[in-house]
Structure 1
Amino acid sequence: MRIFNSDGSEPEMCGNGVRCFARFIAELENLHGKRQSFTVHTGAGLIVPEIQEDGLVKVDMGQPVLKAANVPTKLASNKYDAVVKSELVVDGVTWNVTCVSMGNPHCVTFGTKGGEDLQVDALNLAQIGPKFEHHDAFPARTNTEFVQVYSPSHLKMRAWERGSGATLACGTGACATVVAAVLEGRATRKCTVDLPGGPLDIEWREEDNQVYMTGPAEVVFYGSVPL
């Protein structure tokens, strides 16, 4: 599977795209009501989605990458050999950020240094998002997740995606958000993440370090494109 952003750039992988791809294959193969898993080759490596009997798609998203040079970010590691609650100055404002790669780079923030808890609906995402994406701290640009904590198992997130801007959902971003929330001591390893397009269930398993994403995927329409 290859993915292309709206600006024509090609990301390593797309979590929501994998779910949609698995649903597409299931529809083609008439796998309704049957449990079926696939191995999908992506730019980030092998990803394994599974169509569950309840129709939801569960995806083994692999292990998070935390080492700064591999995210990549120029911010220095400061905890667990990772960038956790580090300071990033954007337009003169200092944000606390945690950096995670889920095969693609993510910068997760729960708010500014010394500021109140983030209210994500109040953000002007179109204004602040590009300044994170193109910040010098991120040599490959970055996806950015702005997160509000409802409880240790319930988070709300808005994403500014590298190459696509504000989107209704970001699967890899939801995974990175839960990893970041755990590293910062804000959440448990199993969370529901609310996104504008709907909720995703994310689990970062301690026993194998794997991240699992579960959510819906639905057919919208069929069509053809003349070449």
Structure 2
Amino acid sequence: MRVPFTKMHGLGNDFIVLDARGTPLPGPLENATVKALADRREGIGCDQLIVMEPDDTATIRMRIYNSDGGEVEACGNASRAVGMLLGDEATIATAGGMITTRPEANGISVDMGTPRFEWDAIPLAYPMDTERLPLGWDALEGPLAVNVGNPHVVFFVDDAQAVPLDELGPQIETDSVFPERINVNVAEVIDGTTMRLRVWERGAGLTRACGTGACASAVAAMRRGLVDRKVTVHLPGGPLTIAWGEDDRITMTGGATEAFRGTFAWDDYAG
């Protein structure tokens, strides 16, 4: 059986999107199947694989799988991509909570919900102050921890580009203090309305853009009083606008792009 897909990206963070609303997938989406489809040499290639499913409580349900095959709770860039496919304002149920997408003149706006700062909401292995964790890995010390649908730590640095994130990212991601692993952000504050960011994404590695990472880092900077309540976050793939409203909800706005469409033979990739 051949399965249609849409290849998309948000600022270079790329996705395979499967629409299972009308026709269910031919079989279970196993870890090996996701990894095979995500392979950039022998598969279609992606950072994340997205499945759109019917849902009684929302416009759709979105399931998110990283390129290592693991299912995760949230993905901001994928939310914009799916929002673009849906067209009109939509509610999307995810494992990380309900979000809302809306077309705007400058892209897709996503209501990402409210941030969580409690140690057991991150989660951490044991209680500690999440505003400045008493932890360090080489030159990276004292991060802020926040859950914005998925877990993040944010380190503020003088030069985000100078941090060897390809070396430190996997160490921090898999540290035992983070029982569900962690996304790792190194953020550089330029001024009150501008930040620069690089992200090591849990289960995917270095990425050109991470929507939830931009949300987490902006909120972390706002909580520490480093920036205003609306900022532009510059990632290697391009900028995102992040606002943290007085209602405690985070809004992310940015572009999404459809690259191409095609089909693949399910049996060629099934576990």
- Sort the TM-score into its range (normalised by shorter chain): 0.7 to 0.9
| 1:148-193 deviation digits (Å, cap 9, x = unpaired) | 0100110000000100000011101110111100111111110000
**Contact 2:99/2:111 (<8 A) preserved:** yes
The aligned residue for residue 86 of structure 1 is 133
**Contact 2:106/2:254 (<8 A) preserved:** no
Classify the secondary structure of the residue corresponding to 1:220.
strand
The aligned residue for residue 21 of structure 2 is none
Classify the secondary structure of the residue corresponding to 1:163.
coil
Classify the secondary structure of the residue corresponding to 1:85.
coil
Q: Which has the higher strand share?
A: 2
Pick from 17, 22, 28 the counterpart of residue 83 of structure 2.
22
The aligned residue for residue 204 of structure 1 is 244
Is 1:12 matched with 2:87? Answer: no
- CA-atom RMSD in angstroms: 1.4
For structure 2, list consecutive stretches of 5 or more residues without a partner in the other structure.
1-61, 267-271
Deviation at 1:25, TM superposition (A): 2.4
Pick from 130, 139, 142 the counterpart of residue 182 of structure 2.
142
Quick one: higher RCO (CA 8 Å, sep 6+), 1 or 2?
Answer: 2
The aligned residue for residue 106 of structure 1 is 152
- How far apart, in 1, do the equivalents of 2:66 and 2:244 lie? 27
Deviation at 1:99, TM superposition (A): 0.4
**Contact 1:120/1:158 (<8 A) preserved:** yes
CA 1:70–1:218: 2 relative to 1, 3 Å = same
Query: Following superposition of structure 1 onto structure 2, how do residues 121-140 of structure 1 map, counting pairs within 5 Å?
Result: 121-140=161-180
Paired residues, what number?
205
- How far apart, in 2, do the equivalents of 1:197 and 1:106 lie? 19
TM-score normalized with structure 2 length: 0.73
The aligned residue for residue 30 of structure 1 is none
- How far apart, in 1, do the equivalents of 2:213 and 2:245 lie? 17
- How far apart, in 2, do the equivalents of 1:217 and 1:55 lie? 10
TM-score normalized with structure 1 length: 0.86
**Contact 1:73/1:99 (<8 A) preserved:** no
Moved over 2 A (4+): 74-78
Percent identical pairs in the alignment equals 40
- How far apart, in 1, do the equivalents of 2:75 and 2:67 lie? 13
Which residue identity does 2:206 align to in structure 1?
A
